[in-house]
Amino acid sequence: MALTAIASQLCHPTFSCFLNPSKILKYIPKNLTHSNIITRRVATIAAVNTILLARETMFNMDVASAFDFRMTVPDQTPEEAEGTIKDHARELLEVKDLIESEQWRDAQKALRKSSSYLKQDIYTLIQAKPGSERPPLRLLYSNLFNNVTRLDYAARSKDVVGCKESFQNIVVFLDDILSKL
C-alpha cells in the first residue's frame, strides 16, 4: 500500500503554487549557486540576441551600402578624373566669393562638396602615376587638403584672416599639383 502511494505520487504529482527550493536545488550540482544559474541564463540570452542582430546586420544590404569605399578603391578611371578635375578645381576656387561675402555655412557646404570630388580626382590620378613620381605628388596632395581643412575650421569660427591665408595656400598648392599632373 505504501508502495502504491509513492508510485501514484511519482506518476501523478500534485502541483501547487509553492515550490520548495530545497527540492529544486537537490537536483542542481552543488558547485552551481543561484547567481551562477542567473548569470548563465543572462549570458545565453545575450548570445542569442547578438547572433540574431548580427545576422540581421550582415544580410541587410542597406547597411552595407551605407559605407563609401571609393577613396580606397576608386571606381573612376584616370581619363574620367582628368576630364572632371578642372571643373572641381574651379568649384573649389569659387568658394572665395562665399567667404568674402561672409556666408559661412554656404561656404563650408560648397567647400566640402567640391573638395571631396577634387580629392577623389587627384587621388585617382596619383595612383595612375608610376611609383617613383607618387611621393612628391602625395606631399602636395596632403598640403592642399590640410589647407582645405584649415579653411573649413576658419570658416566655422568665422575667422576672416585665417580663411584668407588658407585660401591663398590652397591656390598655390592647387596650381602646383595641377601643373604636375
Residue 91: pLDDT above 60? yes
Give the model confidence (pLDDT) of 60-86 as tens digits. 555 444 444 444 445 788 888 888 899
Determine contact, residues 125/144, Cβ cutoff 8 Å: no
**Confidence check: pLDDT of 6 > 70:** no
Percentage above 90 pLDDT, the chain: 43
Quick check: 135 pLDDT over 80? yes
Residue of 90, 142, 94, 153 lying closest to 119 (CA atoms): 142
For residue 19, name the pLDDT band (cuts at 50, 70, 90).
low
For the chain, the domains span 20-67, 78-180
Range ranked top by mean pLDDT from 15-19, 47-51, 57-61, 122-126: 122-126
pLDDT-based confidence at 37, cuts 50/70/90?
low
Place of cell 595656400: 169
What was the pLDDT predicted at 12?
53
Query: How far apart (Å, rounded) are the C-alpha atoms in residues 39 and 164?
Result: 62
Question: Is residue 24 scored above 90 in pLDDT?
Answer: no
Class level of CATH domain 78-180: mainly alpha
Res 143 pLDDT > 60: yes
How far apart (Å, rounded) are the C-alpha atoms in residues 99 and 94?
9
